[in-house]
Structure 1
Amino acid sequence: MTVARDLFETVVLPVASAEDARTTCAAAAAHLRRTGGRAVVVHVIEKTGGAPDKASVEQREEGAEETFAAAREACDATEITVETRLEYGTDVAETVFKVANDVDASAVAFTPREASRWIKLLSGDVANALINGGERPVVVLPDHVADDADTTDDAADGGGGG
């Protein structure tokens, strides 16, 4: 008999930038506090598979450190246990799911980033790949935080919402 796990027991939070880290951690905070869960914040440095990279690896690693600093700050402010992982891969979604498997994540959760359909078409839609490409549950979080963070617990428990 399998024991059911809470979606936010160990959640992987893929983030692309410092602002994305702040938004994603804030959106996940109430759920993580409710379960006493931990966040594994992952930033993937996308390798282009033979084509020249837009920025040097050092520049991208510095950007990742800024992203992780923002994630730690957001999680510390809400008393959430956080681990950070810097990964390299040619497919962002595939790399995120590899991390999810490595840490035996209960789910992958993210906030969608604004982008036009053309940008998504040309760059590949990572959000769509995350939603459709894994074997673990994926939670799409709202990109805003309610004024009263406790109200998000109702939605997580399947309660009302409008």
Structure 2
Amino acid sequence: MSTLLARIVVPVASEQDAIETARALDAHDADIGHVTVVYVVEKAGGAADKASVEQREEAAEEAFDAFEGVLSSGDVDRRIVYDTDVVDAVLDVADEERATAVVFTPREGGRFIRLFTGDIALRLVTEADLPVVTLPRHEDE
């Protein structure tokens, strides 16, 4: 087993994102060990949330089910995390799980979307104190 993929944290943002990420992992025929799939419920930090907690937890479970339905190997755990900062939440889970890497597929979006959202992918890569693996999207299936 690859040491890099022995204990990975995989953030997912939606059911479709979970499918694409699991496909990308499978496409590399990697020997994957323990996987912690993370869905971050981003809290508004004092403002009203856009969706109810129940709606977001349901979306998380759909994403988890989709991920596990596609991934052909690895031991998978599910984590729903509530935080005002997605990157901090993902990196906290990686630390708690003693992850060997954070693995994700970049989300679609133009420059304006990345500017508006604070470019989560860039922050993950630059703020992590462990390897961050960015997988290419495999949308041909």
Rounded to whole Å, the distance in 1 between the matches of 2:137 and 2:38 is 18
Q: Which residue is 1:21 aligned to?
A: 18
Rounded to whole Å, the distance in 1 between the matches of 2:26 and 2:75 is 10
Q: Quote how far apart the aligned CAs of 1:8 are.
A: 0.6
Q: Please give the per-residue CA displacement for 1:104-160, whole angstroms capped at 9, x wherever unaligned.
A: 10000100011011111112211111111111110110111799xxxxxxxxxxxxx
CA gap of 1:7–1:146, structure 2 versus 1, over 3 A, is farther
Q: Please give the per-residue CA displacement for 1:7-40, whole angstroms capped at 9, x wherever unaligned.
A: 1111111000011111111212355x64341211
Rounded to whole Å, the distance in 2 between the matches of 1:80 and 1:37 is 5
Q: Does 2:34 align with 1:38?
A: yes
Length-normalised TM-score, structure 1:
0.80
Work out whether residues 29 and 80 of structure 1, in 8 Å CA contact, stay in contact via their aligned partners in 2: no
Q: Map of 1:46-125 to 2, 5 A cutoff?
A: 46-75=42-71, 78-125=72-119
Give ranges in structure 2 of 5+ residues lacking alignment: none
What is the aligned length? Answer: 140
Q: Which one has the largest radius of gyration?
A: 1
2:138 aligned to which of 120, 133, 144: 144
Length-normalised TM-score, structure 2:
0.91
Rounded to whole Å, the distance in 1 between the matches of 2:20 and 2:54 is 25
Rounded to whole Å, the distance in 2 between the matches of 1:65 and 1:79 is 19
Work out whether residues 7 and 107 of structure 1, in 8 Å CA contact, stay in contact via their aligned partners in 2: yes
Q: CA RMSD in A?
A: 1.8
Give ranges in structure 1 of 5+ residues lacking alignment: 148-162
Q: 4+ residue stretches of structure 1 with deviation over 2 A?
A: 33-36
